[in-house]
Structures are given as structure tokens and as C-alpha cells.
Structure 1
Amino acid sequence: MPVYIASLNSGSNGNCYYVGNEHEAVLVDAGISCRETEKRMLRLGLSIQKVKAVFISHEHTDHIKGLAVLAKKYRLPVYVTDGTVHHCGEVPRELCFSLRSYEAVRIGELEVMPFPKHHDAVEPHSFMITNGDTRIGVFTDIGAPCEHLIRHFSQCHAVFLEANYDEQMLEQGRYPYFLKRRICGGKGHLSNRQALEMFIQHKPSYMSHVLLAHLSKDNNDPELALQMFAEHAGDTRISVASRFFESEVFIIDPTPLAPGQSHVLNQVTGQFQFSLS
């Protein structure tokens, strides 16, 4: 069964990532407003009724800004660590479920595996989401690669991978010294170079898509990040997840299609189907 992924927004102004199959979906983080989440999913032909849960990576505002309204409106379960839940504002406690490292959560056919990461937050986590044999990683807000990240990255068919800053742009930019050190100090964010090294050294041969995520508005350039990855991409499609608008819906399916066959999204039913082209 194919998996459908999209970035609804990615950056310090808000983060929200969609991963789903034909029957159910989850959101990782809810850092844009409920209204904007609805609008962007509608434009993509994705049904918000398929969203069955929200998983929170950490408590920073750009990851939880729209959470309370979204959860209350659609009565969505929110999976969040015990240390993070106290920062999630007005989310009803009956909708909050405890998230623990390496305790998988089953949402229909989706299995969500949380694992710890380096970031300056209370209990920050990344996620690998599995549907059948297909594995999707959501790996952003990472100060440095660790054994947890490397292990899961090397298993994924597609990933949202942080490439937050260009090291030279950050060093020469207008940010104050303390903020520069926070970003590159091991518990902040991954640079383009660190992300590329992860990709080169640990990418499995079957990784089909990489969405470069959480790019800095001031300390990075989407074209620069893409160029860095281009010569090493091989058969992997590299895209940038925008901080201004939603990405396209990417179809991740390890099963090869027959010649002349493609996936098509039915805008009326919201279902993906096969089509002969």
C-alpha cells in the first residue's frame, strides 16, 4: 500500500508534516493555525477526516502553535511526552496520550516510532512512521546526528530531513553571537553540510525522496541546499519543504508500477488510484 507525504509548512514560522495511507493519516507537529492547516490540505486534495492523531516533537512554538484549536475542533488524540504536555496550552487533557521513546504507537495501519534527538527542548523526539514495508522519517530540529538518527535514517524510503543553515551564511550573518552558537552548538539545528553527510554516508539504496526541511530564512538558500545534494542524489528525488506554502503530495511506494502506469489523486474522493498514461 503506498504512503502519501506532504509538508504543510516547514520553518521557524511553523512546522506541520502529513503522512498517511488511503485510510488514515497522522500529522507530525501542528505549528500553523488550524485554518491554515485546513486550507492547505484542501488545496492538496487531502481529507482532514483521515487524520487520526497528532504527534508532537517538542514544545517550541513553531511546532505547537495551532495544536489546541486543531485538536479540540476535530477531537484528535495528541501524542506528546509527559514533560512536553505541560507546554501545550489549552489542549484538553483527555486528548493527550503519553509518548515514550521506542514505544511504538499504532494508528490503523500506521506505526509511529518515537526516538530521542539532540535539541534544546524538554524531551525532543523524532519519528519513523511505518506502513507495511514503507518507512517515512521526520527528522528536523536536530543539533547533531546521533546513533538513534543514523539507525532510523538508514531504514527509510523517504525522509523530511533538516538542512537549516549554510555554515558560511550563518557565520557572516546578522544574528548575535549567542544565537549563532545556539544554532550550531550541538543542540540547535543541522547545517546543509551535516545533512548532506548524513545522506551520503547513510542513505539506503531504496530511498526515493528527501524533503529538505526547516530551512532558515536568513541563513540558507533553497537553491544552494538543492545544489549541494544534486550531485549526490542519484535516483533519489530531492525537494525543499517551503516555509511559505505546502509541498506537493509525494507518493512513496516501494512496489514498482507496471509500464505506463502512474498514481493519480482523485480530487473528488480524495483517494489515490492507478491510471494508465
Structure 2
Amino acid sequence: MDCNPLYITSLNSGSNGNCYYVGNSKEAIMVDAGISCKETEKRMLRLGLSMKKVKAIFISHEHGDHIRGLTVLSKKFGIPVYITPGTLNSCRLNLPDELVRHFSSHETVQIGSLKVACFPKVHDAAEPHSFMVSCGDIKVGVFTDLGVVCDQLSLHFQQCDAAFLEANYDEELLQNGKYPYYLKRRISGGQGHLSNTQALQLFTNFRPSRLTHLLLAHLSKDNNDPELVEHLFNQHANGTMIVVATRHMETPVFTIGAASGSSAGTYQTGQSSLQLQGF
């Protein structure tokens, strides 16, 4: 079983599209497919990652920024889509039956040597779920679109070597911003998104000593500031690498496990390329 290390990247993170990659040297999964197939391919190519290694796409919920590119991506590469019946019913996607796999709450799905634990989260969607991807002892959490920090989230966060964690909005920016009242209430009312403060409390109260990388995800374009949230978390990092996953481009690929503590290869922002070994 080839489990050590795992490689992770955010291909895009934000209300314009979400797609997260977790894999080892032989296989990988994606969580959500909210950017176009063409853009997904371009970003994977720039990172030196192969779509041939992607063996499954797990869908967290039915909102457009998580499924926009799903049908084309799944059909083009023949990738099975793991989705709850309620989410599928709410998606109205034209997915071939042979590519649909259902999962249920608290189920663990085996994808080659990867295990994907699925657990419910609080969000204004039909059957929203978060995921913990593991191989051997290495565990990576994908935790976005969260109305509150529930017991399940806290439990799984404590087990992570790395995590994608939502830090959607700054309370003051949201309160004083241009959004209408009903939208502000949706975001902050307990079934929408996590604030910077809520995410930080989870991080400081439940961070395991093994957590080497925290990728802050799904930042609001209008109600947050990447520099603000990065500075906020770095004050409490204590050795954890803090990375802001953006809505504009992919992050580097980070190595989680034996070689943790740095990105794999050398990221060249001018050329938007990451040269990887063994991919």
C-alpha cells in the first residue's frame, strides 16, 4: 500500500468555484468540481499532476460553485462521482448512471489505497458532507461551507496531518459591507459559512500536534482579506504552515507525511508551473 506521503492542492477555492485534490503516487481523489473541465485540466497540467490518477470525485453538496464542472469532467475522464442521493436529486445533473456512486453519512469509502470518511456538516444544502482522506496513518481533512463548528468537525480536525478549512468572512467586513441584510444573515446565521474567528477557534482549541499544513479556504471576495486572515492565523501557527487558497489560481502541491514541512518541488509564480518528481 503506497501511502506515504500524500500530495494535496487547492485547484480553486471561493464562491467562483471549489476543487481540492488529495492523492498519493498512484491514485487520487478530488473533492468537488466547481471550475470548468478545461480550467481543471490546465491547472493540473501546470502542477504536473495527471488526471489519469484521479479515481473518484466526492461531492460535498449541490451548490453551483461545487459542481459547475462536474458533468463534463466526469464524462471526459470516466471518473466515478460519489454523491448522496439527496444531493444528486438537488443537482439536476446529467450524469450517466454508471458513473454515479452513492455514499451515506459516516460511511468510509475505499478508493484504491485511499480511504474517504464522509460525515455530515451544517450548511444550507440538501445533504451536505465533509470528508477525511487517509492512507495509512496520514489524514487530510476537507472542511468548507460550514455553518458552525459541530462536534463531528472538531473530532475529525483533531486527527488531521493537514486540512483545508473554511475561513469565509471577517465579521466587521461583513457587517459593514454592501450585502443586503438577508444575505448577511444567510452567511452568518449558523447554516452558511465559518467566520475567521470561528475557524481560528477551531484551530487553536483542537489543533493536533501532527498538523503540518492548514489551507484556509473559501474566502469571500467582498467580506474577507487574504492578508488579514493569513496574519491572524500565523500569530497562532506554532509551526503549522498557513496557506491561503485563492479564488484565482491553484496552490502549490504540498507533501504531507514523510517529507512534510515544505511544498513538493519548486513553485515558480512567473511561469505558473510546479515541477514535481514522480508524478
Q: TM-score scaled by structure 1?
A: 0.93
Residue 64 in 1 paired to residue 71 in 2? no
In structure 2, relative to structure 1, the CA distance for the partners of 1:256 and 1:39 (3 Å cut) is: closer
Aligned 8 A contact 1:117 1:146 in 2: yes
State the distance in 2 between where 1:74 and 1:192 align: 37
State the distance in 2 between where 1:114 and 1:210 align: 20
The aligned amino acid for 2:31 is V
Report the Cα offset of residue 28 of structure 1: 0.1
Give the count of matched residue pairs. Answer: 268
Identity rate, percent: 60
Aligned 8 A contact 1:158 1:252 in 2: yes
State the distance in 2 between where 1:133 and 1:35 align: 34
Report the Cα offset of residue 264 of structure 1: 4.3
Q: For 1:204-257, what per-residue CA distance to the aligned partner results, in whole angstroms no more than 9, with x for missing partners?
A: 011000000000000000000011111110110001000000000000015679
Aligned 8 A contact 1:4 1:251 in 2: yes
Task: Give the structure 2 partner of residue 191 of structure 1.
Answer: 195
Report the Cα offset of residue 269 of structure 1: 8.3
Equivalent residue runs for 1:1-277 within 5 Å = 1-86=4-89, 87-254=91-258, 264=265, 271=278
In structure 2, relative to structure 1, the CA distance for the partners of 1:171 and 1:35 (3 Å cut) is: same
State the distance in 2 between where 1:264 and 1:29 align: 25
Report the Cα offset of residue 99 of structure 1: 1.2
State the distance in 2 between where 1:20 and 1:243 align: 22
State the distance in 1 between where 2:239 and 2:107 align: 33
Task: Give the structure 2 partner of residue 275 of structure 1.
Answer: none
Task: Give the structure 1 partner of residue 269 of structure 2.
Answer: none
Pairwise CA RMSD:
1.8
Aligned 8 A contact 1:134 1:254 in 2: no
State the distance in 2 between where 1:42 and 1:177 align: 42
SS at match of 1:84: helix
The aligned amino acid for 1:196 is L
SS at match of 2:85: coil
Gaps of 5+ in 2: 267-273
